[in-house]
Amino acid sequence: MRLDKYLADMNAGTRKELKNGIRKGLAVVDGTVIRDPGYALSGTEKVTYGGREIAYAAYEYYLMNKPAGVISATEDSRQKTVLDLLGEQRRKDLFPVGRLDKDTVGLLLITNDGALSHRLLAPKKHVDKIYFARVTGRVTGEAVDRFAEGVPIGEGIIARPAGLEILEVGEEFSEVRVTIHEGRFHQVKRMFLAIGHEVVYLKRLAMGPLVLDEDLEEGAYRPLTPEELQLLGVD
Ligand code: URA
């Protein structure tokens, strides 16, 4: 990558300011003053500008409140993806950590950090995922017991014991909070179907230590805060 682009990407100044500054001798690469803005970096060098070390952010992390109607894929020729919501300027190696169904809303982590993604998704890690769900019918204490035991969700699979908290029970619909420790395809929907309820609205509230930021409108996103990065162990 060009030296002036590297510095501009890391917000050391505008491209024009940086070109001038580099020509004046403000940029130092591995101890040598470099006056060529187009100097090619491999990415492993120590770069300072005006005496300040400028480290290149290898990874980016975004918290998105996924809206309904977009798919959790990196690209699709016909359907809008969560990455399309990040706009054209996004770097090209980002991906969503795990999948939410097209009609599911809520917390989605988007990053280019494959190791973190693995840590959060690996079945053996049992990272908690918490969902708010509106389901058909009256959910009772029996459903809580069934979820705690583990319900069969088809193809011979028994879902791991899950937490179910009943928030509100109406004539037609009930509202609940569900905590699962795995992430199978349509997992929450299949668990409710197994006990006779259909999920009509599903929103992810949390994944591991990350909690949905209710200030984010659906479709909006923001970088993770230093505190959130620390919670994820990537600070
Ligand atoms: N469970 C589902 O059924 N759908 C999702 O999008 C996430 C969990």
- CATH no. for residue 28? 3.10.290.10
Contact 75, 48 (CB under 8 A): no
Give the chain's radius of gyration (CA, Å): 23
- CATH no. for residue 151? 3.30.70.1560
Ligand 1 centre and the CA of 213: distance in Å?
A: 19
Task: State whether 103 and 8 are in the same domain.
Answer: no
First to last CA, the chain: 25
Nearest Cα residue to 167 out of 159, 177, 178, 156: 177
Task: State whether 112 and 164 are in the same domain.
Answer: no
| Catalytic residue IDs | 101
Q: Is 101 a pocket residue for ligand 1 (Cβ < 6 Å)?
A: yes
Structural domain tally of the chain? 3
Indicate whether 94 pLDDT > 80: yes
CA dihedral 19, 21, 24, 26 (to 10 degrees): -120
The tokens describing 143, both together, are: 């459903």
pLDDT at position 117 is: 95
pLDDT tens digits for 130-154? Answer: 999 999 999 999 999 999 999 999 9
Q: To which residue do tokens 């459903």 refer?
A: 143
Task: State whether 46 and 143 are in the same domain.
Answer: no
pLDDT at position 75 is: 85
Task: State whether 32 and 138 are in the same domain.
Answer: no
Task: State whether 107 and 10 are in the same domain.
Answer: no
Q: Whose CA is nearest to atom 2 of ligand 1?
A: 186
Contact 46, 2 (CB under 8 A): no
Task: State whether 109 and 141 are in the same domain.
Answer: no
Q: Is 188 a pocket residue for ligand 1 (Cβ < 6 Å)?
A: yes
- Sorted by sequence, the CB contacts under 8 Å of residue 171 that are 6+ apart come out as 138
Question: What is the rounded CA–CA span in Å between residue 234 and residue 230?
Answer: 6
Ligand 1 centre and the CA of 59: distance in Å?
A: 27
For residue 136, give its domain range: 128-207
Residue among 100, 184, 205 to mutate when testing ligand 1 (max atoms within 8 A of CB): 100
Task: State whether 195 and 222 are in the same domain.
Answer: no
pLDDT at position 29 is: 97
| Domain end residue (candidates: 53, 69, 86) | 53
Task: State whether 154 and 203 are in the same domain.
Answer: yes
Indicate whether 55 pLDDT > 90: no
Contact 220, 65 (CB under 8 A): yes
Ligand 1 centre and the CA of 148: distance in Å?
A: 18
Ligand 1 centre and the CA of 82: distance in Å?
A: 16
- CATH no. for residue 100? 3.30.70.580
Position 124 confidence tier, pLDDT thresholds 50, 70, 90 = confident
Q: Is 102 a pocket residue for ligand 1 (Cβ < 6 Å)?
A: no
Question: What is the rounded CA–CA span in Å between residue 226 and residue 221?
Answer: 16
pLDDT tens digits for 75-86? Answer: 888 999 999 998
pLDDT at position 89 is: 65
The tokens describing 141, both together, are: 């204490």
pLDDT at position 9 is: 75
Q: Is 182 a pocket residue for ligand 1 (Cβ < 6 Å)?
A: no
Atom of ligand 1 nearest to the CA of 129: 8
Task: State whether 145 and 44 are in the same domain.
Answer: no
10 Å CB burial of residue 47 (0-12, 13-18, 19+) is buried
Ligand 1 centre and the CA of 188: distance in Å?
A: 5
Task: State whether 74 and 117 are in the same domain.
Answer: yes
Task: State whether 133 and 115 are in the same domain.
Answer: no
Q: Whose CA is nearest to atom 7 of ligand 1?
A: 100
Atom of ligand 1 nearest to the CA of 199: 3
Task: State whether 72 and 43 are in the same domain.
Answer: no
